Amino acid sequence: MVEAPDSEKVAGPLLVFGGPYSNLEATKALLCEARRRAIPPGNIVCTGDLAAYCADPQGVIDLLRRSGIRIVMGNCEESLAAQAADCGCGFAKDSTCAALSGQWYPYADRNIDAENRAWMGSLPRQLELEINGRRLVVVHGGVTSINRFIFATCDEAIEE
């Protein structure tokens, strides 16, 4: 198990979201709604996958970097920072997801500058928060696997 950092206390509402997927318009709308609800940047957490699928990876990364919110590294950030051959999602080779990622990943890779690539590589893999006396550990995927898909319908306990 990865060693957890000291937890940071958060007071007030906490907004946690993931997968902006290069959708600049949706990301702007989400941050606008957070401002309307008076949720400060320190109480907003993005669980990664900033760049994927949509048209503006650089724009989304620039916006989120400027926003001051907390961001956890996802497999897309890990792969783009390392200039890996694919997104690191682990899709089955003959799946629709693999076919789609084979199209968006090279586009995202070409449209992210070196500064943002380095920044993505420096993101934490987990974030520990304390809110209302409860400890919350935020990760992308699973604790031991950054690209693990966990759904509400999973029978197994979510411990790793």
AA letter at 49: D
Nearest to 106 by CA among 126, 80, 125, 82: 80
pLDDT of residue 156: 59
Q: Is residue 135 part of a domain?
A: yes
Looking at the domain assignment, is residue 160 inside a domain? Answer: no
Report yes or no on 2 lying in a domain: no
Q: What is the pLDDT of residues 88-144, one digit of tens each?
A: 888 889 999 889 999 999 999 999 999 999 999 999 999 999 998 999 999 998 888
Let me know if residue 53 belongs to a domain: yes
Cα(76)–Cα(118) distance, integer angstroms: 13
Asked if residues 37 and 13 have their Cβ atoms less than 8 Å apart, the reply is yes
CATH number at residue 92: 3.60.21.10
pLDDT, tens digit, 9 for 90 and up, residues 27-80: 999 999 999 999 999 999 999 999 999 899 999 999 999 999 999 999 999 999
- Residue 158 inside a domain? The answer is no
Q: What is the pLDDT of residue 1?
A: 42
36: in domain? yes
In a domain, 47, yes or no: yes
What pLDDT sits at residue 157? 53
Three-state DSSP class for 71? strand
| Mean pLDDT value of segment 19-32 | 97
Residue 54 has a pLDDT of 85
Measured distance CA(9)–CA(64) in Å, rounded: 22
Q: What is the pLDDT of residue 149?
A: 77
Distance of CA 136 to the CA centre of its chain: 16
Given this model, what pLDDT does residue 2 score? 47
Is residue 154 assigned to a domain? Answer: no
In a 3-state reduction of DSSP, which class is residue 45?
strand
Q: Strands, DSSP E only, in the chain?
A: 8-10, 15-17, 44-46, 70-71, 126-131, 134-139
Range of the domain at 50: 8-139
Count: domains in the chain:
1
Query: 8-10 and 126-131: which strand pairing?
Result: parallel
Give the per-residue pLDDT at 7.
Answer: 82
